[in-house]
């Protein structure tokens, strides 16, 4: 059967469902599943918080007897492996579903085409690739980790009208307004980890937590790139360790404040450089990393081609001559990126860029 507008409509619904748990199912991707019978949705599922159960068994349970002869729309190829839960492809066969529409094949070597084969061998009609681009975008973190062995990197920058990220020696400077702050906290909640350089950690004394009603428990791992272990044991980052973990990436053999920080519950890891840190994070199941500063870390990642997405906030305020210049501004955009979206967030303007080719796994 060819792809219809109806297929796209129901797949869109499955993608929307998946977005609801983005950043909270790691290391599993957040997958959406919609079961349709006679043009009506009879079951919905999304990968549960923490990663299990998977989306499909939940949708099948909701559909009950209606699953027989129905069509299932799933954003990712149903799994075929006996992991902590039985394979979703087998559950689909057992439920008597007669057609499965999938957006993206699963690159996980344990699945990778085997899920589709289980379905086809059971004479289920399989359609693959519906809204593939949108689903890839929704699962960008998972797909980047699986195919590149590093997390998807999102660089967030708040830039003044004169192209600055902050003021030298001034600590935190409010560049964007409260709506932008809220949007940034939501983005934090959707990522698995947040990274800043030691310069930003010392100058701003940030907390790097999600402070939005209802999302207080969605704060991701905080990571500081701190070659010489200079982070202050009395900093807000360290004070919050009991609630949200903090990982300090230091150079091999670095001492500095290491001991005092470790005594306060900070985990230290020795890495040779940023690439090393990214692969270590991926090995720990971190699929999406948000980079919040500062200028040096941002420039370094951009120069190494390690930035996948940019959220650029432009504000109307100016900093002046003692500012810290941003590597990217509204008039100095990065090469090799395509703009996906421009919108106003309160008084500020947000532009979202994605690296070309649009998906690293093409
Ligand atoms: C699905 N539906 O909702 C998700 C899937 O550790 P496990 O056993 O939970 O397996 C993790 C793998 O399951 C993950 O790498 C990916 O291949 C798949 N995720 N599959 O059928 C889902 N979240
Ligand atoms: Zn599964």
The enclosing H or E element of 95 equals none
Lowest average pLDDT, out of 59-63, 131-135, 331-335, 355-359, goes to 355-359
pLDDT interval class at 171 (50, 70, 90): confident
Q: What backbone phi and psi angles, to 5 degrees, belong to 268?
A: -110, 140
Q: What backbone phi and psi angles, to 5 degrees, belong to 248?
A: -110, 120
pLDDT of residue 335: 87
pLDDT interval class at 169 (50, 70, 90): confident
The enclosing H or E element of 148 equals helix 140-148
- With a 6 Å cutoff on the Cβ, whether 55 touches ligand 1 is yes
Residue 47: CA atoms inside 13 Å, Cβ hemisphere, count? 25
Tell me which of 18, 20, 29 to substitute to probe ligand 1's pocket, judged by most ligand atoms within 8 Å of the beta carbon: 29
Q: Please, which residues bridge with residue 46 across strands?
A: 32
Could you tell me the two tokens for 100?
Answer: 């499965």
- With a 6 Å cutoff on the Cβ, whether 88 touches ligand 1 is yes
Task: Give the active site residue among 8, 16, 40, 56.
Answer: 56
For ligand 1, atom 12, the nearest C-alpha belongs to 28
Is the pLDDT confidence value at 122 over 60?
yes
Residue 17 CA to ligand 2 center (angstroms) comes to 16
Kindly tell me the burial class for residue 82, based on how many C-beta atoms sit within 10 Å of its own C-beta (0-12, 13-18, 19 or more).
Answer: exposed
Q: State how far the Cα of 19 lies from the Cα of 256, in Å rounded to an integer.
A: 41
Could you tell me the two tokens for 280?
Answer: 């270590």
Q: State how far the Cα of 358 lies from the Cα of 184, in Å rounded to an integer.
A: 23
For ligand 1, atom 4, the nearest C-alpha belongs to 54
Ligand nearest to the CA of 87: 2
What is the SS3 assignment for 269?
strand
Which distant-in-sequence residues (6+ apart) come within 8 Å of 320 by Cβ? 162, 164, 167
Q: Which atom of ligand 1 is nearest to the CA of 52?
A: 9
Residue 353 CA to ligand 2 center (angstroms) comes to 31
Is the pLDDT confidence value at 74 over 50?
yes
Read off the pLDDT of residues 97-116 as tens digits, 9 standing for 90 and up: 999 999 999 999 999 999 99
pLDDT of residue 1: 59
Is the pLDDT confidence value at 271 over 60?
yes
Q: What is the pTM of this model?
A: 0.93
Residue 40 annotated as catalytic: no
Contact 225, 277 (CB under 8 A): yes
For ligand 1, atom 20, the nearest C-alpha belongs to 79
- With a 6 Å cutoff on the Cβ, whether 106 touches ligand 1 is yes
The enclosing H or E element of 283 equals helix 274-283
pLDDT interval class at 120 (50, 70, 90): very high
């Amino acid at each position: 059967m060819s792809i219809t507008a109806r297929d796209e409509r129901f797949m869109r619904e499955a993608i929307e469902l998946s977005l609801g748990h983005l950043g909270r199912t790691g290391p599993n991707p957040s997958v959406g599943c919609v079961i349709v019978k006679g043009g009506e949705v009879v079951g919905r599922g999304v990968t549960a918080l923490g990663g299990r159960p998977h989306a499909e068994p939940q949708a099948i349970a909701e559909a009950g007897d209606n699953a027989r002869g129905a069509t299932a729309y799933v954003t990712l190829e149903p799994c075929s492996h006996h992991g902590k839960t039985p394979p979703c492809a087998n559950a689909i066969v057992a439920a008597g579903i007669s057609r499965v529409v999938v957006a993206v094949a699963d690159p996980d070597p344990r699945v990778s085409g085997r899920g589709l084969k289980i379905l086809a061998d059971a004479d289920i009609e399989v359609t693959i690739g519906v809204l593939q681009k949108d689903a890839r975008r929704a699962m960008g973190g998972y797909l980047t980790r699986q195919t590149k062995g590093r997390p998807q990197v999102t660089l967030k920058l708040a830039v003044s009208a004169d192209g600055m990220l902050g003021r030298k020696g001034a600590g935190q400077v409010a560049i964007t307004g409260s709506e932008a702050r809220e949007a940034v906290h939501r983005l934090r909640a959707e990522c698995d980890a947040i990274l800043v350089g030691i310069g930003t950690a010392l100058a701003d004394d940030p907390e790097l937590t999600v402070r939005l009603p209802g999302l207080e428990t969605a704060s991701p791992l905080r990571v500081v790139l701190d070659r010489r272990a200079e982070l202050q044991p009395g900093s807000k980052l360290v004070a919050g360790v009991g609630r949200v973990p903090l990982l300090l990436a230091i150079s091999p053999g670095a001492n500095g404040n290491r001991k005092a920080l470790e005594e306060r519950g900070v985990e230290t890891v020795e890495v040779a450089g940023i690439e090393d840190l990214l692969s270590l994070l991926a090995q720990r199941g971190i699929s999406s990393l948000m980079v919040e500063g500062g200028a040096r870390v941002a420039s370094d990642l951009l120069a190494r081609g390690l930035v996948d997405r940019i959220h650029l906030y432009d504000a109307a305020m100016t900093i002046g001559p003692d500012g810290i210049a941003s590597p990217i501004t509204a008039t100095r955009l990065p090469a090799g990126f395509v703009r996906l979206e421009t919108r106003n967030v309160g008084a500020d303007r947000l532009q979202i860029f994605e690296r070309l080719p649009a998906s690293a796994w093409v």
